[in-house]
A and B are shown apart, each in its own frame.
Chain A
């Protein structure tokens, strides 16, 4: 809907997660993909395969190929073979998978095969298994001769799929396009889709750009053995290719910017003009940092900048020095920890860039002093990185007694003490945290709500809280809606609406955590009388509701699901979708839309079609559920809430 400024091509704004954003591009420009499932990148392979299953062709009307191998090692090997024969191919992996393919990564770069792999960056099983975000995996393969760029949100994940492909093929060098596992791969955000014609021109037809080194008409031997006499020559001669990579990547970004009105570069400087202090990070945490320093600037008049390292390979040392040389101090935050090294990898690289600059090494403008450098580890295994953490990092830089190496997000001797955690969401944001049970269809509903709201022109951010545990257990999901781009990638601590499909939520969690004054809760209940509903709420919860002026709405979504489900298998799963109707009816955020009901449900139909597939009977049933939610949800009148006299001790903790 609508087009961003500066683009020469028509654009469509939609909602999708980082995984979809990447696959949308790759299904247009590649000829094939190979993958082996691993959380959190499986989603990308799955999505790509659905295109193949549907017989979709790329922008040059070539049928896509997909192969699921028996390991990441083989998935990478198959990519190597496909690319060797001149094919444009991709792969999706994470964590242990990326490390398992490491051996193949070298042979791919050695053969100069310009493949792009998409990584949902993930922690490694270096003490226990963790499927969540971390940069351990990508840092483990940072020296395999591949380019490596980091996207901080779903939009960049897709755009960087194009940029990395272009840079790779222009420099005969493979690239990783990295996004944070789950935090970006599985978070639905507002994304501008690039135009087909733009991609066609920008990337070019595979046959016109790629060499077939398995050509029977031109038989060559590739992958030879070289001994003491030859090996080193070839290895050093590869610098011919590597020397072109920075210019190729810069050129790919410049051209992309020209075509699409974006502003991508090797590093992204935010609020760095006149900044006294800076935070340096990679991936989604950078954007949370940006939102935080804006808050610090606007509210506290503190000048802190952020340098988001987009390109880790090639490492843009001179540009980083230029960006940071004038600050008093900067702190580098890394999503991994390697205690035996000189420093963690990004810190090591930044330090050596500064030494080169001090020495006036070629390519560097000579500097005379180096800012004070701090380095820290945070967000390992997706330990939440919050605005408060960035504030504490700035406090640490200002303090007399400061920690040169620090950690955030945990309690430890090295940890920084955390103070205020401000709400840095855009002004006027609306956030929801839902408590449900795996299998109720709530995660899909959350997606549907996000899609719906996105279609209405809002920026959205939606994600479930993923654990490695399986279905049948309580689940939590999150949604933020805003008129402005949402830059925080932290767990939601400030929410305006808490729907509880899980009737046990009062006992298993604190549903009021972070719920704002005058917020709203929704209760799943078999009761229809508001008084009965209210009476069934635990007394301490009633107290909070009353004190915080919380609006309470309720409905028996389970009964609706039972009535509407076309067959018994849908009984459970259709409870969730009723919430979409409740959301549309009750969320004050949407009340300004003034949409006619018919128009609204036309939109709902489209969204359901997108999210729930094409079976007409289930689509109809879902629509009915939404309509009934919209019409039948009822509110507990303020009168009932206020007159309740039972007040008990032991209130739930308020956040």
Chain B
């Protein structure tokens, strides 16, 4: 200690010490990848654990999966749904003008390669014929796979669906090389000209580089529903407001673990995490300082899971909403603590099996109702609230755009399929999210205070099928979809189906639903009817739903205790007023009074 000469570093030196981006990208990433972390010095740069933007693009998942999507251009209509739904930014689309494509192709030596690359493009009606008809040059549309980002979940194949333009194909060393070369070619092509990106077609926004603010390379599970939500939120914000006007705060959870595990950062925007429960108020600090700097127009998003916002960080969220600050919140609602291995959250569905709400011999999964964060948020003044899913991409994008436009707090709760905890397949994110809406497990909600003075005007349930009815009836077939159908499709409910398990596939539940699951269905219906009532669609029917019975075990114990207490009270009353306890207390009181009297007399 003593008198050591001290020279405080300058601001520039401070930043240099905090993170040297060039050195990080050139040395650290490379050494980390090739030599392993152990070879890297514990130098001062690591002290703050700062990761420069987009380092995730350096990460290579080529050898993760055995399969990769194969694109069939002649079947493609250019709907972009595969690009939207990919959780890893591994599948991208581009529209190229024919001359621009040709001049790039001319630089390819091998004629077979040339043919391969040319064959990636389709002259779709959307980008070619429609434009040609208008007398404009049409564009060629192509879909490209980044083999370093693809985890082989095949979500894109499901997103493509009936268009049948995508299938998976087995990877080999040779084809991997081909895929890489093809993707390099994609990167060399100019950006999609602006004229092909329609402002009215929200699905097109991912053609713009301004929308691709999540570069992939994150360690999320294959097919992760959360990652898609993050990509879509960043896309809709960046596309409208520009990537330079956007920052993110993340509450600890799966999202921070897969996006910020050193040294890979999938974001191209400023991002910060503090803790699990404080995202909203941590964000308030950033917002406050940004506003002080004159950055009122920049968009700040706070993201986190249902644990972060419904449970541990609930009060912090409520506090933020009441501040009226222009902060948007994206709740990645997986209805379970995904990050810690799948424990029940208050967002879990009733009867859902999870850790800490196990389906055992006596207790059959979660006994409590699902907490409806959207409903609670709506009761705060002046807040935009939405419940949406990535499968309803137009709805999702619209909610994000409206949240950004809303001058005040906004909360968007996104249904996020969690493959391991829901017990569904890697390619099921979109499908299950859609089913969650169809089955009233997770209704679509938009609550916009700008729409009017009444609840009815503000609350919009558009997008939910058969919005007037209790359950969704498929017009073509006359079949009704209810919560049981949803439960049947996910392993987290499988123990509620009492019949023989006929199928070896884990995602199918057969047999009759259990009473607990039926109670859960009633609970979902009550929630749906409440929303219908608030939205002015129907009124007065919520009361008809029988109150949901809590688990017998729980209530029996409580009833026993209550009976015991009542008996005790009765016994006490029955005995004379001078029972032992009372007598002792009275004695003490009398003694104290006497003492006080004596004291006073002495004075």
Contact = CB atoms under 8 A, between A and B. Distances in A.
Is there a direct interface between A and B, measured as CB atoms under 8 Å apart in the complex? yes
Interface of A: 31-32, 34, 62-63, 65, 67, 69-71, 73-75, 77-87, 89, 103-104, 107, 110-112, 169-172, 208-211, 213-227, 229-230, 232-234, 236-238, 240-241, 244, 246-248, 250-251, 254, 266, 314, 316-319, 363, 507, 650
Nearest to B265: A221
B406 interface: no
Contacts of A62: 292
Nearest to B242: A216
B29 to A, nearest CB: 13
A85 B249 CA distance: 12
B3 interface: yes
A178 to B, nearest CB: 20
6 contacts: A70-B318, A219-B247, A219-B269, A220-B53, A220-B271, A241-B47
A216 B262 contact: no
A74 B37 contact: no
Interface in B229-256: 244-247, 249-250, 256
B494 interface: no
A216 B42 contact: no
Interface of chain B, main secondary structure: mixed
Nearest to A108: B274
B9 to A, nearest CB: 8
Contact of A211 (B11, B43, B292): B11
A246 B6 CA distance: 10
A246 B277 CA distance: 33
B46 A85 contact: no
B52 interface: yes
B569 interface: no
B37 A240 contact: no
B335 interface: no
A32 B288 contact: yes
A573 B21 CA distance: 64
> Considering the complex of A and B, which 7 residue pairs feature the smallest CB-CB distances, nearest first?
A81-B285, A223-B273, A77-B278, A229-B37, A233-B42, A74-B281, A82-B285
A650 B574 CA distance: 50
B274 A81 contact: yes
Contacts of B5: 247
A162 to B, nearest CB: 15
B272 A221 contact: yes
Contacts of B285: 34, 67, 77-85, 87, 89
Contact of B270 (A73, A171, A215, A251): A215
Contacts of A266: 1
Given A234-B49, A237-B44, A211 B15 contact: yes
Contacts of A73: 277-278, 281, 316
A223 B49 contact: yes
B3 A250 contact: yes
A214 B286 contact: yes
Contacts of A74: 278, 281, 284, 315-316, 319
Given A215-B270, A233-B40, A363 B1 contact: yes
Interface in B41-58: 41-53
A104 B8 contact: no
Given A77-B275, A220-B53, A221-B51, A71 B6 contact: no
Nearest to B287: A81
A318 B2 contact: yes
Contacts of A241: 47
A109 B211 CA distance: 34
Contacts of A211: 11, 14-15, 18
A209 B14 CA distance: 9
B282 A80 contact: yes
Contacts of B256: 223, 225
B492 interface: no
B262 A230 contact: yes
B425 to A, nearest CB: 27
